[in-house]
Amino acid sequence: MSYDYRKYKPFPPVSLPDRTWPDKTITKAPYWCSVDLRDGNQALPIPMSVEEKLELFELLLKIGFKEIEIGFPSASQTEFDYLRTLIDRNLIPDDVTIQLLTQSRDHLIRRSFEAIKGCKNVVMHFYNSTSTVQRDVVFQKDQKEIIKIAVEGATLIKKIAAEYPETNIRYEYSPESFTGTELEFAKEICEAVMDVLEPTPENQLILNLPATVEMHTPNIHADQIEWFSRNIKNRDCVLISLHTHNDRGTGVAAAELGLMAGADRVEGTLFGNGERTGNTDLITMAMNLYSQGVNPELDFSDIEHITKVYKSCTRMNVHERHPYVGELVYTAFSGSHQDAIKKGLDKYKSGTTGFWDIPYLPLDPSDMGREYEAIIRINSQSGKGGVAFILDSQFGYKLPKAMHPEFSRKIQMITDETGKELKGAEIFEEFSKEYLTVKSPWSLVKYEIKASMDVDTNGEEKNTVGISCSLKYKGELMTVDGQGNGPIDAFFHALQSTSAPKVHFLSYDEHALSEGADSQAVCYIQVADSKGRSYFGVGVDSSINAASLKALLCAVNRIEANSK
């Protein structure tokens, strides 16, 4: 097997010692252009049908794109018919510009213009390859010959555009494979195109500088963009656009640094779908801005619907770890992560902070239509905080902190034995078996509480509660009585007169299981047995007193069960 790193040469850096982009911050959204219907579509094993492209076009409009590249109408009859369908059915809103791509070749340019008749707003995007390897290997032309191709294309486009006064036509030129082109030559060919099209500050030419192949680190891309932005003539007459690919896995980073370096516009696709490893992922890039408090001016709040349409139209999948969108990106398996997330969410919900600042969650999942229930999932690596979060967020049981280790040990035993993840319903089933359905050997049949007031030896008033209970022990009915300073204390003393395990009362917690007058009460009672071992009991009832008595019996039953 050949594996020789020496056959590759490093990309030369850009000489820009006074670069300024590292100190810049992105404070506003760029102009966005979706190329899903062109760059994305041409990279599909099975290209989209006209109807599928129409469905995806509608989705792009809902997201908020104002510029959408719809394809190569000169490349095939299908592409031509698709654009005509958009125009003839009046499906393009007045504030949306469609963009079409054509090589800088005479017959392709003419065919492209035939396709736009009757369209209101169009970007005529033309290109030719300019990189050293394309000039030498593919076209075998020198720089002057390559410039001639671009100039002739620009001249023809400008001439034919004058025949379409009813259409607002803007121009975009791409020196394809810009990243592999000498910067001085890229500047020269773009300025030659500018001389023909004569852009103004009011009618800017889009100069798209594509990283057709990602050839270097994002910082070098930023240097290239800053150099170009500084040196191109009449900078106010051009809009610098980025079109990064992801061959090195840093397409989004390159586009972000390119914006910091002076670019104005970004072309990309949903989920980064495109040739080879794909394009700039516009979802990731937009949500990166959003997570920094910048309005991305694109709406991904219903990401589940967006994903569904994307999958249906493209027949592509979305990786489980895709940033912001993947099935697992809001899921914490680590116990320490789960505990930190729960604490962070509790603090955020308390309203003590105005900003989202949750450990391990850089974005609020609900902003993208995701549910908190999916944040924590339980397996053998999970911790006590994760189990407690599931019971709280999905079922309303707010376990006392001291109870977390007790129940999580039960769950860990199950996940260790099975090696599988437990869903919320499975966790609650185990919780019910351990605490809520425990009715033997001791169970409560009925009870009666009587309150009285006595005077102690010091002459002070003293409230006393008496309780009379009917209990079953292993099926046998008995009646017991007790007194105390409250119903729980009275019942506690009543139990001590039976054969039930002798316990020491440790703690009591309660809360409503849900909102509303008909909500049930949940009580948690912690006791210690004769050996000092701690046990919790849980009781649920519409009566807070009944819930408390059930919780104490639950703890006693668990002690007996564990003493066998």
User: Per the annotation, where are the binding residues for Mg(2+)?
Assistant: 39, 243, 245, 279
Residue 542 exposed, middle or buried by CB count within 10 Å (0-12, 13-18, 19+): exposed
Contacts 24+ apart (CB under 8 A), 475-484: 477/445
The DSSP string of 126-154 is: EEEE-SHHIIIIII---HHHHHHHHHHHH
The phi and psi torsions of 253 (rounded to 5 degrees) equal -60, -40
| CA dist., res. 323 & res. 434, Å (int) | 38
| CA dist., res. 357 & res. 360, Å (int) | 9
Q: Which residue has the tokens 């869903």?
A: 423
Residue 394 near residue 403, CB atoms below 8 Å: no
| CA dist., res. 220 & res. 241, Å (int) | 17
> How many other CB atoms are found less than 10 A from the CB of residue 131?
23
| CA dist., res. 214 & res. 26, Å (int) | 22
* Nearest Cα to Cα of residue 500 among 443, 430, 433, 415: 443
What CA dihedral angle connects 495, 500, 506 and 510, to 10 degrees?
Answer: -60
Annotation: binding site: 39, 243, 245, 279
Looking at residue 212, the DSSP 8-state letter turns out to be S
